[in-house]
Amino acid sequence: MKTIQKNDGFTLIELLIVVAIIGIIAAVAVPGLLRSRQSGNEASAIGSLRAIASAEASYAASCGGGGYATTLAALALAPSGGVAFISPDLATANVAPGKSGYLVNVAVGVGGVNVLAAASTCNNAATPSQTHYHATAVPIVVGTTGQRSFATNQASAIFQNRTGAIIASANPLVAAGNISMLQ
């Protein structure tokens, strides 16, 4: 008597078809996921600049004698018995790896003049407080970590550059060419 053997399972062709379908789905989904990540990084950069603008206003009112901090380190330095003006993750966002794919920095704005000497600020910052500041958020890799760059200054309006290039310090920041104000 003959016994019949059953060969259950998938054939090689069926497995190849499944792998091809998975590949097609991945090819369609990955660009959308990358765009979502860039959008999230850009939202984080805008949030970082808003946090800096708020911290600068607090610093000017309570610590800088009406002047603004010109470095992230000055904003990260807490006054005696107080708390820092910015969070620790933002304090080191000006060097790689940055914050959410962006390098965030604060510098002296165009036309800035000293208001208080460094030793006279409430947190003894290493830099004097100034009448102007310029904060920027630039993607680490344009097109990968973000598409647009952002900037703000003592007026607290946030501007964007659609090319991702750094927005130069100007007083006031103005919309021109690829640079426009966010709503």
Give me the chain's average pLDDT, please: 92
3-state secondary structure of 46: helix
Report which of residues 47 and 111 the model is more confident about.
Answer: 47
Residue 7 domain-assigned (yes or no): no
156 inside domain: yes
Residue 113 in domain: yes
What stretches of the chain show up as alpha helix (H) in DSSP? 12-62, 72-76, 88-91
Any domain includes 6: no
The verdict on residue 2 lying in a domain is no
Report the pLDDT averaged over residues 87-112.
94
**Residue whose pair of structure tokens reads 């060419």 in the numeric block:** 177
Evaluate if residue 87 carries a pLDDT over 80. Answer: yes
Kindly compute the dihedral angle of the four CA atoms of residues 74, 90, 131, 121, in this order, to the nearest 10 degrees. Answer: -20
Is a pLDDT exceeding 70 seen at residue 179?
yes
Across 154-176, average pLDDT: 93
Q: Is the pLDDT of residue 171 over 90?
A: no
**Could you tell me the two tokens for 111?**
């036309």
Give residue 83's pLDDT.
Answer: 93
Checking if the pLDDT of 51 tops 90, the result is yes
Which whole number is the average pLDDT over 67-81?
A: 92
Residue type, 135: A
**pLDDT at 3 > cutoff 80:** no
Instruction: Encode 49-88: b = buried (16+ Cβ within 10 Å), e = exposed.
Output: bebbbebbeebbeebbbebbbbbbbbbbbebeeeeebbee
Residue 183 has pLDDT above 70, yes or no: no
What average pLDDT score do residues 162-173 get?
92
Count how many domains the chain has: 1
Residue 103's pLDDT is 97
Q: Are 128 and 63 in contact (CB under 8 A)?
A: no
pTM of the full predicted structure?
0.85
In a domain, 48, yes or no: yes
Residue range(s) defining the domain that contains residue 158: 12-181
Q: What is the pLDDT of residue 92?
A: 94
Q: Is residue 119 part of a domain?
A: yes
Report how far apart, in Å, the C-alpha atoms of 77 and of each of 58, 153, 166 are. 13, 20, 26
The reported pLDDT for the residue numbered 1 is: 66
Q: What is the rounded distance in angstroms from the CA atom of residue 179 to the CA atom of residue 170?
A: 12
